[in-house]
Chain A
């Protein structure tokens, strides 16, 4: 456990980060419940286990930076500050969902929060995110395009085309590989040849590193290094996050490709619990303070659930709206 706080966050800041991680955890647990109850349909990919990645990166983010990711996007859009009610109402396919019930779990966007989705085709978000970085550079904006991709996407051809373009045109892009060890049911060892995943980008001249993605502090430090590098050199950077998902690929995944022992062992380094322990032990934050935060979140999630179930289904006329602008 990294006890140092190289980023000099105040206790209040750290508590905010913890609050966000806890919110994502509780939100996703509720989503799992609602899925089981038949209130959420289709595909539903939970972020449980990977919370330190998105919040660690968030801790370094310039609020103007943009974010794009693939289909495991609930945690990402919550981290960007979008109202959890509109996210859950999207999962239940209701009128008040962030995409008006027309996108679903995998397709949520918020321009106001600079979140560009929410994409269901593995790898496709990577060239798109490089394009967003292109727009930042074109307009001389001091923004970084943060592009998340999974270990599965790292064997997808367009990702390498995107690496080449980002490096060739010196675009302000931070690639973040969330290596949770499985592309659906296929382990990384059965899908990716060669060495570390991030090294595949280094052949295009992109600098990068591999980081313990279960530890908020490690993620945060790497993200700050990345931001400094990108700002100083006007070049892309890549971080490979060593992480793990505690739930299946999606809600309909029986998880036969890995053992219970493996999952339980990973749960010993649960990123949310580890963050909490660090706050208690190393930062001497009072247990009651944390408990208050947690009970507020639990209350909030109840409201979120209620909202998402009470919001009406989309009006039928919505079928034909927003095909064209």
Chain B
């Protein structure tokens, strides 16, 4: 019997074999721990699926980045030969990965890191001491640095402390700062969000983690009515310096109630700042700016980006200003606008777009509210064509508002209609193929670019 590396989380594509707890020739019974596997979220134990004898270990301990479903050992099962059930072959489009979403980079592999390195050179930014780390590590660094700098900053949320964070973003922070500043809450979003906002009104600077922003709906009254409006209602007397953060949008195969983008919801509200970074570098710089900001900030992360790496400055004075977008690729023919996960979707489509002889400006908004209107309009006035890509539902969406802003500010410069590629107006389906269909994909982005360019 083949022992395969199992998928131990919805987003796991590879794992590390930390340690074998058995050796060849050992007898095991069903449920015995065979090995420790490190996933993108935690270290898990691999149990024996049956009674038998470990016949062969195929992957040595210490091996990293083993793909899910790789054979890692052979087990000789007691008793009769077990008939292997042939797997039903499912025809997959080459771009569908094991978790149902498009892979983050295509074969032509335009990595976010190389794109960012290029834009940095162009902008003549200060030379930071940089290290390639994941977005999850970058967020963790941002929180740790700001907690060190300001004792009023504290972190609360479900499983942020003893469990080390549901997505490991807050890993190690409890050990560093103690239970007074890193607090596990009950599953009580309405209550702990209100508590955090009250603490902010009294002058503390909470980082309020939602395990996912889907759960923030339990607390949206407090975010909208208490956090966003108090400064105005009090004539400037009471400000609310708080960051609400956590993963937003569709992860992979987690179904309708755990796969929604809330950018349009929060960006509708005056008084809230809304941030949606696409990469580790921006995530660190923007989270630090958000924690220092005296207003309520909704900081929308993306689970599928947590493991993605870019070069990130290690200095604690590295900040990215709120309200500044990033022209991550300069072209001339069309402006393609994205944020968070959709920047990666646009980069996936880029090779096909370039094959058409089209050179796009690609704007990563980073900050949804306030919006870098100048950057957008300058680009549109140059290219005269616009495609907006958003993961959220298309109806009454942020993208709809953005296209309104562009037509009213750049009307005379437009040579074509503005096209918006949005998530479909359906609750997120579970099935792999349907989920893929529900989200914006490469073909749709390429088609939109062709359409605004009048290419058939």
Interface residues of A, Cβ cutoff 8 Å to B: 66, 68, 97-103, 107-111, 116-121, 124, 126-136, 138-139, 157-158, 160-162, 164-165, 168-169, 321-325
A131-B273 in contact (CB<8A): no
In the bound assembly, the distance between CA atoms of A111 and B239 in angstroms comes to 11
Identify 8 new A-B residue pairs, CB closer than 8 A, beyond the known A127-B197, A162-B191: A99-B234, A116-B198, A116-B201, A116-B238, A127-B195, A132-B202, A138-B154, A324-B231
A/B pair count, beta carbons within 8 Å: 144
User: Is residue B193 within 8 Å, beta carbon to beta carbon, of the partner chain?
Assistant: yes
27 contacts between A and B (CB under 8 A): A102-B233, A103-B235, A109-B234, A116-B238, A121-B225, A124-B194, A124-B222, A127-B193, A127-B195, A127-B197, A128-B197, A131-B195, A131-B199, A132-B202, A134-B195, A135-B199, A135-B202, A158-B194, A161-B194, A164-B188, A165-B191, A322-B231, A322-B232, A324-B231, A324-B273, A325-B231, A325-B239
List the A residue with the shortest CB-CB distance to B181.
A138
B195-A162 in contact (CB<8A): yes
A323-B202 in contact (CB<8A): no
A164-B196 in contact (CB<8A): no
In the bound assembly, the distance between CA atoms of A136 and B232 in angstroms comes to 24
Interface size on B, residues (CB 8 A): 40
In the bound assembly, the distance between CA atoms of A116 and B203 in angstroms comes to 12
List the A residue with the shortest CB-CB distance to B241.
A325
In the bound assembly, the distance between CA atoms of A100 and B294 in angstroms comes to 20
In the bound assembly, the distance between CA atoms of A158 and B218 in angstroms comes to 10
Nearest CB of chain A from residue B316's CB, rounded to whole Å: 23
List the B residue with the shortest CB-CB distance to A136.
B202
Nearest CB of chain B from residue A301's CB, rounded to whole Å: 23
User: Is residue B79 within 8 Å, beta carbon to beta carbon, of the partner chain?
Assistant: no
In the bound assembly, the distance between CA atoms of A324 and B239 in angstroms comes to 9
Nearest CB of chain A from residue B130's CB, rounded to whole Å: 32
Set A124, A131, A139: member contacting B201, Cβ < 8 A: A131
Query: Using Cβ atoms and an 8 Å threshold, which residues of chain A touch B236?
Result: 100, 321-322, 325
A128-B295 in contact (CB<8A): no
A126-B190 in contact (CB<8A): no
Interface residues of B, Cβ cutoff 8 Å to A: 154, 180, 183, 185-186, 188, 190-204, 221-222, 225-226, 230-239, 270-271, 273, 294-295
A323-B231 in contact (CB<8A): yes
B193-A103 in contact (CB<8A): no
Query: Using Cβ atoms and an 8 Å threshold, which residues of chain B touch A161?
Result: 186, 188, 190-192, 194
Nearest CB of chain B from residue A10's CB, rounded to whole Å: 33
For the complex of A and B, the 5 pairs showing the least CB-CB separation, nearest first, are A131-B198, A127-B194, A161-B191, A100-B235, A135-B202
B190-A158 in contact (CB<8A): yes
Query: Using Cβ atoms and an 8 Å threshold, which residues of chain B touch A157?
Result: 190
In the bound assembly, the distance between CA atoms of A161 and B294 in angstroms comes to 27
Query: Using Cβ atoms and an 8 Å threshold, which residues of chain A touch B239?
Result: 325
Assuming the A-B contacts A120-B225, A138-B204, are A102 and B198 also in contact, with contact meaning beta carbons closer than 8 angstroms in the complex? no
Query: Using Cβ atoms and an 8 Å threshold, which residues of chain A touch B225?
Result: 120-121, 124
Set A116, A160, A168: member contacting B202, Cβ < 8 A: A116
Query: Using Cβ atoms and an 8 Å threshold, which residues of chain B touch A164?
Result: 186, 188, 191
Set B200, B232, B234, B235: member contacting A131, Cβ < 8 A: B200
Interface core residue of A66, A108, A119, A325 (most chain B CB under 10 Å)? A325
Query: Using Cβ atoms and an 8 Å threshold, which residues of chain A touch B194?
Result: 124, 126-128, 130-131, 158, 161-162
A168-B186 in contact (CB<8A): yes
B202-A131 in contact (CB<8A): yes
B191-A325 in contact (CB<8A): no
B198-A135 in contact (CB<8A): yes
